[in-house]
Homo-oligomer: A and B are copies of this chain.
Protein backbone atom coordinates (compact mmCIF):
# COMPACT_ATOMS: atom_id res chain seq x y z
CA UNK A 1 0.00 0.00 0.00
CA UNK A 2 1.24 3.48 -0.82
CA UNK A 3 0.30 6.69 1.01
CA UNK A 4 -1.84 7.49 -2.04
CA UNK A 5 -3.94 4.33 -1.47
CA UNK A 6 -4.55 5.44 2.11
CA UNK A 7 -6.46 8.41 0.65
CA UNK A 8 -5.88 10.85 3.51
CA UNK A 9 -6.64 14.50 2.79
CA UNK A 10 -5.67 17.01 5.48
CA UNK A 11 -7.98 20.02 5.78
CA UNK A 12 -6.05 23.27 6.42
CA UNK A 13 -9.17 24.71 8.14
CA UNK A 14 -9.19 21.85 10.67
CA UNK A 15 -7.91 23.15 14.00
CA UNK A 16 -7.08 19.78 15.54
CA UNK A 17 -3.40 18.78 15.86
CA UNK A 18 -2.07 17.09 12.72
CA UNK A 19 -1.47 13.73 14.44
CA UNK A 20 -5.13 13.66 15.51
CA UNK A 21 -6.32 14.40 11.98
CA UNK A 22 -4.24 11.58 10.50
CA UNK A 23 -5.25 9.27 13.38
CA UNK A 24 -8.96 9.96 12.87
CA UNK A 25 -8.67 9.51 9.11
CA UNK A 26 -7.05 6.07 9.50
CA UNK A 27 -9.36 5.05 12.40
CA UNK A 28 -12.39 6.10 10.36
CA UNK A 29 -11.35 4.01 7.36
CA UNK A 30 -10.79 1.00 9.64
CA UNK A 31 -14.17 1.52 11.35
CA UNK A 32 -15.96 1.72 7.97
CA UNK A 33 -14.31 -1.53 6.91
CA UNK A 34 -12.34 0.17 4.11
CA UNK A 35 -9.04 -1.10 5.55
CA UNK A 36 -9.33 -4.81 6.30
CA UNK A 37 -7.57 -6.55 9.18
CA UNK A 38 -4.07 -7.58 8.07
CA UNK A 39 -3.65 -4.67 5.62
CA UNK A 40 -0.11 -3.27 5.83
CA UNK A 41 0.10 0.51 6.29
CA UNK A 42 2.73 2.53 4.37
CA UNK A 43 6.02 3.06 6.29
CA UNK A 44 6.39 6.20 8.45
CA UNK A 45 8.89 7.75 6.05
CA UNK A 46 6.57 7.55 3.05
CA UNK A 47 3.63 8.97 5.01
CA UNK A 48 5.75 11.83 6.34
CA UNK A 49 6.68 12.81 2.81
CA UNK A 50 3.29 12.30 1.16
CA UNK A 51 1.35 14.25 3.81
CA UNK A 52 3.99 16.94 4.36
CA UNK A 53 3.99 16.43 8.13
CA UNK A 54 6.83 15.74 10.54
CA UNK A 55 8.09 12.31 11.54
CA UNK A 56 7.07 13.14 15.15
CA UNK A 57 3.49 13.66 13.99
CA UNK A 58 3.31 10.31 12.20
CA UNK A 59 4.96 8.59 15.14
CA UNK A 60 2.33 10.05 17.52
CA UNK A 61 -0.43 8.92 15.15
CA UNK A 62 0.90 5.37 15.02
CA UNK A 63 1.40 5.24 18.79
CA UNK A 64 -2.21 6.28 19.37
CA UNK A 65 -3.51 3.78 16.83
CA UNK A 66 -1.52 1.00 18.52
CA UNK A 67 -2.82 2.05 21.93
CA UNK A 68 -6.39 1.98 20.62
CA UNK A 69 -5.74 -1.55 19.38
CA UNK A 70 -6.52 -0.53 15.79
CA UNK A 71 -3.11 -1.34 14.33
CA UNK A 72 -0.27 -3.58 15.45
CA UNK A 73 3.45 -3.38 14.84
CA UNK A 74 5.09 -6.61 13.69
CA UNK A 75 8.79 -6.21 14.45
CA UNK A 76 10.94 -6.07 11.36
CA UNK A 77 7.94 -6.19 9.02
CA UNK A 78 5.79 -3.10 9.46
CA UNK A 79 2.48 -1.82 10.77
CA UNK A 80 -0.75 -3.69 10.05
CA UNK A 81 -4.45 -3.14 10.64
CA UNK A 82 -5.31 -5.25 13.70
CA UNK A 83 -8.15 -7.74 13.92
CA UNK A 84 -11.09 -6.03 15.65
CA UNK A 85 -11.67 -6.90 19.30
CA UNK A 86 -14.25 -9.61 19.87
CA UNK A 87 -17.24 -8.17 21.70
CA UNK A 88 -19.17 -10.18 24.29
CA UNK A 89 -22.46 -9.03 25.71
CA UNK A 90 -22.82 -9.34 29.47
CA UNK A 91 -26.56 -8.78 29.45
CA UNK A 92 -27.35 -12.50 29.63
CA UNK A 93 -25.44 -15.47 31.05
CA UNK A 94 -23.75 -17.15 28.10
CA UNK A 95 -20.80 -19.42 27.51
CA UNK A 96 -17.73 -18.98 25.32
CA UNK A 97 -19.06 -21.07 22.41
CA UNK A 98 -22.37 -19.18 22.36
CA UNK A 99 -20.52 -15.83 22.46
CA UNK A 100 -18.26 -16.84 19.58
CA UNK A 101 -21.07 -18.26 17.46
CA UNK A 102 -22.94 -14.96 17.91
CA UNK A 103 -19.93 -13.35 16.19
CA UNK A 104 -19.73 -15.90 13.40
CA UNK A 105 -16.54 -17.41 14.81
CA UNK A 106 -15.65 -21.04 15.36
CA UNK A 107 -14.88 -21.88 18.99
CA UNK A 108 -12.55 -24.70 19.96
CA UNK A 109 -10.80 -25.70 23.17
CA UNK A 110 -7.46 -27.19 24.16
CA UNK A 111 -7.80 -29.11 27.41
CA UNK A 112 -4.65 -28.55 29.47
CA UNK A 113 -5.75 -30.13 32.73
CA UNK A 114 -8.48 -32.29 34.25
CA UNK A 115 -8.13 -33.60 37.78
CA UNK A 116 -9.86 -34.23 41.06
CA UNK A 117 -8.43 -31.77 43.59
CA UNK A 118 -9.07 -30.58 47.14
CA UNK A 119 -11.18 -27.40 47.21
CA UNK A 120 -9.36 -24.30 48.44
CA UNK A 121 -11.27 -22.06 50.82
CA UNK A 122 -12.26 -19.83 47.89
CA UNK A 123 -13.47 -22.68 45.64
CA UNK A 124 -15.29 -24.30 48.57
CA UNK A 125 -17.15 -21.09 49.43
CA UNK A 126 -18.23 -20.57 45.81
CA UNK A 127 -19.42 -24.16 45.28
CA UNK A 128 -20.96 -24.49 48.72
CA UNK A 129 -18.79 -27.43 49.79
CA UNK A 130 -16.37 -27.67 52.73
CA UNK A 131 -12.71 -26.67 52.34
CA UNK A 132 -10.64 -29.66 51.27
CA UNK A 133 -13.64 -31.50 49.76
CA UNK A 134 -12.85 -33.22 46.45
CA UNK A 135 -13.92 -31.18 43.42
CA UNK A 136 -13.21 -31.47 39.69
CA UNK A 137 -10.86 -28.95 38.07
CA UNK A 138 -10.77 -28.52 34.29
CA UNK A 139 -8.31 -26.12 32.62
CA UNK A 140 -8.82 -25.15 28.99
CA UNK A 141 -7.44 -22.67 26.48
CA UNK A 142 -10.42 -21.38 24.47
CA UNK A 143 -9.80 -20.40 20.85
CA UNK A 144 -11.76 -18.41 18.28
CA UNK A 145 -10.96 -19.30 14.67
CA UNK A 146 -7.81 -20.98 16.00
CA UNK A 147 -6.55 -17.98 17.99
CA UNK A 148 -6.19 -18.31 21.80
CA UNK A 149 -8.65 -15.91 23.47
CA UNK A 150 -9.08 -17.07 27.05
CA UNK A 151 -7.71 -19.42 29.68
CA UNK A 152 -10.51 -21.01 31.69
CA UNK A 153 -9.97 -22.54 35.11
CA UNK A 154 -13.20 -24.37 35.97
CA UNK A 155 -14.28 -26.08 39.20
CA UNK A 156 -17.29 -28.38 39.40
CA UNK A 157 -18.83 -30.26 42.32
CA UNK A 158 -17.53 -33.83 42.23
CA UNK A 159 -20.82 -35.59 41.43
CA UNK A 160 -21.40 -33.38 38.36
CA UNK A 161 -17.75 -32.99 37.41
CA UNK A 162 -16.63 -36.61 37.35
CA UNK A 163 -18.76 -37.65 34.35
CA UNK A 164 -17.92 -34.34 32.60
CA UNK A 165 -14.17 -35.05 32.94
CA UNK A 166 -14.70 -38.00 30.59
CA UNK A 167 -16.65 -35.97 28.00
CA UNK A 168 -15.26 -34.55 24.75
CA UNK A 169 -14.29 -31.18 26.25
CA UNK A 170 -12.35 -30.18 23.12
CA UNK A 171 -15.63 -29.77 21.26
CA UNK A 172 -18.47 -29.66 23.81
CA UNK A 173 -18.85 -26.67 26.11
CA UNK A 174 -19.49 -27.39 29.80
CA UNK A 175 -22.67 -25.25 29.82
CA UNK A 176 -24.11 -27.41 27.05
CA UNK A 177 -23.13 -30.64 28.83
CA UNK A 178 -24.69 -29.44 32.09
CA UNK A 179 -27.91 -28.36 30.44
CA UNK A 180 -28.40 -31.00 27.77
CA UNK A 181 -26.59 -34.14 28.92
CA UNK A 182 -26.88 -33.79 32.70
CA UNK A 183 -30.30 -32.11 32.97
CA UNK A 184 -28.94 -29.20 34.99
CA UNK A 185 -30.31 -26.00 33.42
CA UNK A 186 -28.49 -22.86 34.51
CA UNK A 187 -30.61 -20.05 35.96
CA UNK A 188 -28.26 -17.18 36.72
CA UNK A 189 -24.68 -16.31 37.58
CA UNK A 190 -22.57 -13.87 39.54
CA UNK A 191 -19.77 -12.17 37.58
CA UNK A 192 -16.85 -10.44 39.27
CA UNK A 193 -14.66 -8.59 36.75
CA UNK A 194 -11.12 -7.26 37.13
CA UNK A 195 -8.11 -6.19 35.10
CA UNK A 196 -4.90 -7.98 36.10
CA UNK A 197 -1.37 -8.46 34.79
CA UNK A 198 -0.83 -11.92 33.25
CA UNK A 199 1.26 -14.33 35.28
CA UNK A 200 3.80 -16.41 33.35
CA UNK A 201 1.87 -19.68 33.04
CA UNK A 202 -1.33 -18.09 31.73
CA UNK A 203 0.59 -15.68 29.47
CA UNK A 204 2.32 -18.67 27.86
CA UNK A 205 -0.97 -20.49 27.30
CA UNK A 206 -2.47 -17.39 25.64
CA UNK A 207 0.61 -16.43 23.63
CA UNK A 208 1.02 -13.00 25.25
CA UNK A 209 3.86 -11.50 27.28
CA UNK A 210 3.91 -11.98 31.05
CA UNK A 211 2.47 -8.81 32.58
CA UNK A 212 0.09 -8.15 29.66
CA UNK A 213 -3.31 -6.79 30.71
CA UNK A 214 -5.96 -9.52 31.09
CA UNK A 215 -9.70 -9.09 31.60
CA UNK A 216 -10.59 -11.59 34.30
CA UNK A 217 -14.11 -12.82 34.97
CA UNK A 218 -14.71 -14.88 38.07
CA UNK A 219 -18.07 -16.51 37.53
CA UNK A 220 -20.26 -18.68 39.71
CA UNK A 221 -23.21 -20.20 37.86
CA UNK A 222 -26.32 -21.45 39.60
CA UNK A 223 -28.96 -24.04 38.73
CA UNK A 224 -32.48 -24.03 40.21
CA UNK A 225 -32.70 -23.39 43.94
CA UNK A 226 -29.53 -21.22 43.83
CA UNK A 227 -27.44 -24.39 43.69
CA UNK A 228 -23.86 -23.51 42.62
CA UNK A 229 -22.84 -25.93 39.86
CA UNK A 230 -19.88 -24.25 38.12
CA UNK A 231 -17.19 -21.87 39.42
CA UNK A 232 -14.72 -20.47 36.87
CA UNK A 233 -11.93 -18.00 36.48
CA UNK A 234 -11.85 -16.83 32.85
CA UNK A 235 -8.66 -15.00 31.86
CA UNK A 236 -9.35 -13.12 28.61
CA UNK A 237 -6.66 -11.47 26.47
CA UNK A 238 -7.12 -7.73 26.99
CA UNK A 239 -5.95 -7.03 23.45
CA UNK A 240 -8.58 -9.30 21.88
CA UNK A 241 -11.86 -8.85 23.73
CA UNK A 242 -14.20 -6.22 25.04
CA UNK A 243 -17.45 -6.66 26.92
CA UNK A 244 -20.61 -4.61 26.70
CA UNK A 245 -23.63 -4.05 28.89
CA UNK A 246 -26.53 -1.58 28.94
CA UNK A 247 -27.66 -0.74 32.45
CA UNK A 248 -30.71 1.50 32.89
CA UNK A 249 -30.75 4.42 35.31
CA UNK A 250 -32.69 3.87 38.50
CA UNK A 251 -34.63 6.93 39.65
CA UNK A 252 -32.13 8.73 41.90
CA UNK A 253 -34.24 8.38 45.06
CA UNK A 254 -34.46 4.62 44.65
CA UNK A 255 -30.76 4.21 43.84
CA UNK A 256 -29.79 6.17 46.93
CA UNK A 257 -32.07 4.26 49.29
CA UNK A 258 -30.90 0.92 47.85
CA UNK A 259 -27.30 1.98 48.37
CA UNK A 260 -28.01 2.98 51.92
CA UNK A 261 -29.60 -0.36 52.66
CA UNK A 262 -26.62 -2.09 51.10
CA UNK A 263 -24.05 -0.26 53.19
Interface set of A (CB-CB < 8 Å, partner B): 14-16, 20, 23-24, 27-28, 31, 67, 69, 85, 87, 90-94, 98, 101-104, 117-118, 120-122, 131-132, 179, 185-197, 199, 211-216, 236, 238, 241-250, 252, 255-256, 259, 262-263
Contacts and interface: CB of A to CB of B under 8 A. Distances in A.
A194 B249 CA distance: 22
Given A85-B194, A195-B238, A238-B195, A186 B249 contact: yes
B118 A15 contact: yes
Contacts of A91: 247
Contacts of A213: 195-197, 213-214, 238
A244 B190 CA distance: 7
19 contacts: A16-B118, A20-B120, A27-B121, A27-B122, A91-B247, A92-B250, A93-B248, A93-B250, A101-B256, A187-B248, A189-B246, A191-B244, A191-B246, A192-B243, A194-B238, A197-B213, A213-B213, A215-B215, A245-B245
Contact of A197 (B118, B212, B236, B256): B212
A257 to B, nearest CB: 11
B132 A16 contact: yes
A24 B132 CA distance: 11
A86 to B, nearest CB: 11
A101 B15 CA distance: 41
Given A90-B245, A246-B190, A196 B238 contact: yes
Given A196-B238, A242-B192, A247 B90 contact: yes
Contacts of A238: 194-197, 213
B191 A121 contact: no
A255 B197 CA distance: 32
Contacts of A216: 195
Nearest to A67: B199
